[in-house]
């Protein structure tokens, strides 16, 4: 894969100096160029021409700009924005995502929302604003305990696996649905001590084609799927109506996977007891969008993957992939066109 010449690495994302020291120490053959560009034209033709490895968040150079490009490592896990890019037309070009680097903070966000939904945190906060000590508080704020419940994970990638690990102390029955049930193990990037690399932490695994059978069993449903042609609108009116009455939904995957109009209806009809949503088909979500005022909805502005430690974790994974690249070994999180992720 990599030649024996110097490897020119262009990164458009700033890393902490401690991470850069680790990256520079991998091999004397690696030469880094840092350019915090947000547009292709902010990088000179000479830099583009000599770049062999590109680390970036959103830049998609034209193939003619990068004749020596052999590998693009993206800074994020969700890279559906590359669909249609001419980069995909260069068969020998490796493209990798940062799947797994945000699993820890996303797992904590999901656990927080599962507990917040079941324990009426939104209503409790509103009650505090009114400075009210309600006489019917025993009934109004009676929780749906997470302990002993059934949680369904729609998608069993790095985030779903971290959620399964976090749920272990709660004596939860974990159901999971994924594309390939014949391979429950995880071959992507996993932070040591986290996730479920061996595929051992669920009670039952469903093929995605049997999703509705799983949904009807769940008290809580967590959606963590990538956005692809096959997952776009996957959780729609039929799936939401098929969920157990009074169940909760947490959606952190990509806008478009859950039909927002159907979700709004399920909340308005009180078929679902509540939901937490962090991703939307249109972002930023317009201030007049009806989801802002949806009943029993906790709405957050696409922050579930935020962490001050993200760049550190991303740098560690990039370093691991660079070592693999140097050894001409398969890279972690390689994009597969037939899967669209």
Q: What is the mean pLDDT of residues 150-169?
A: 98
pLDDT score, position 308: 95
Question: Do 1 and 325 contact (CB within 8 A), yes or no?
Answer: yes
Tokens of 151: 């949680």
Task: Give the burial class of 63: count Cβ atoms within 10 A of its Cβ; 0-12 exposed, 13-18 middle, 19 or more buried.
Answer: middle
Cα-flanking dihedrals φ and ψ of residue 277, to 5°?
-130, 130
* CA-closest candidate to residue 140, choices 30, 296, 253: 296
Q: Kindly report, residue by residue over 305-339, the tens digit of the pLDDT.
A: 999 999 999 999 999 999 999 999 999 999 998 88
- Polymer length in residues for the chain: 341
Q: Kindly report, residue by residue over 73-99, the tens digit of the pLDDT.
A: 999 999 999 998 999 999 899 999 999
pLDDT score, position 154: 98
Q: Kindly report, residue by residue over 185-233, the tens digit of the pLDDT.
A: 999 999 999 999 999 999 999 999 999 999 999 999 999 999 999 999 9
Give all domains of the chain, ordered by start, each with its CATH number.
7-101+308-326 (3.40.50.720), 103-299 (3.40.50.720)
* CA-closest candidate to residue 215, choices 150, 156, 149: 150
């Amino acid at each position: 894969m990599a030649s024996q010449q110097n490897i020119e690495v262009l990164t458009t994302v700033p890393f902490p100096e401690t991470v850069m020291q680790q990256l520079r120490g991998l091999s004397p053959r690696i030469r880094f160029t840092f350019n915090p560009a947000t547009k292709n034209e902010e990088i000179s033709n000479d830099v583009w021409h000599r770049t062999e490895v590109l680390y970036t968040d959103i830049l998609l150079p034209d193939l003619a700009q990068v004749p020596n490009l052999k590998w693009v490592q993206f800074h994020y896990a969700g890279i559906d924005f590359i669909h249609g890019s001419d980069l995909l037309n260069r068969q020998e070009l490796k493209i990798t995502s940062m799947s797994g680097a945000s699993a820890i903070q996303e797992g904590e966000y999901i656990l927080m929302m599962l507990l917040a939904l079941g324990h009426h945190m939104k209503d409790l906060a509103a009650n505090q604003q009114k400075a009210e000590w309600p006489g019917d508080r025993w009934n109004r704020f009676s929780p749906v305990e997470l302990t002993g419940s059934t949680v369904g994970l729609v998608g069993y990638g790095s985030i779903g696996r971290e959620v399964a690990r976090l749920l272990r102390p709660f004596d939860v029955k974990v159901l999971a649905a994924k594309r390939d049930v014949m391979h429950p193990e995880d071959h992507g990037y996993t932070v040591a001590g986290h996730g479920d690399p061996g595929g051992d932490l669920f009670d039952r695994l469903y093929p995605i084609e049997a999703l509705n059978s799983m949904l009807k069993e769940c008290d809580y449903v967590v959606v963590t799927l990538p956005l692809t042609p096959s997952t776009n609108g996957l959780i729609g009116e039929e799936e939401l109506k098929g969920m157990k009455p009074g169940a909760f939904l947490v959606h952190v995957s990509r806008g478009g996977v859950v039909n927002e109009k159907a979700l709004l209806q399920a909340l308005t009809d009180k078929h679902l007891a509540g939901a937490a949503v962090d991703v939307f088909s249109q972002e930023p979500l317009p201030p007049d969008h009806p989801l802002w005022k949806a009943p029993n909805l906790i709405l957050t502005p696409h922050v579930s993957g935020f962490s001050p430690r993200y760049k550190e974790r991303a740098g560690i994974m990039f370093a691991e992939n660079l070592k693999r690249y140097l050894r001409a070994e398969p890279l972690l999180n390689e994009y597969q066109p037939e899967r669209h992720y």
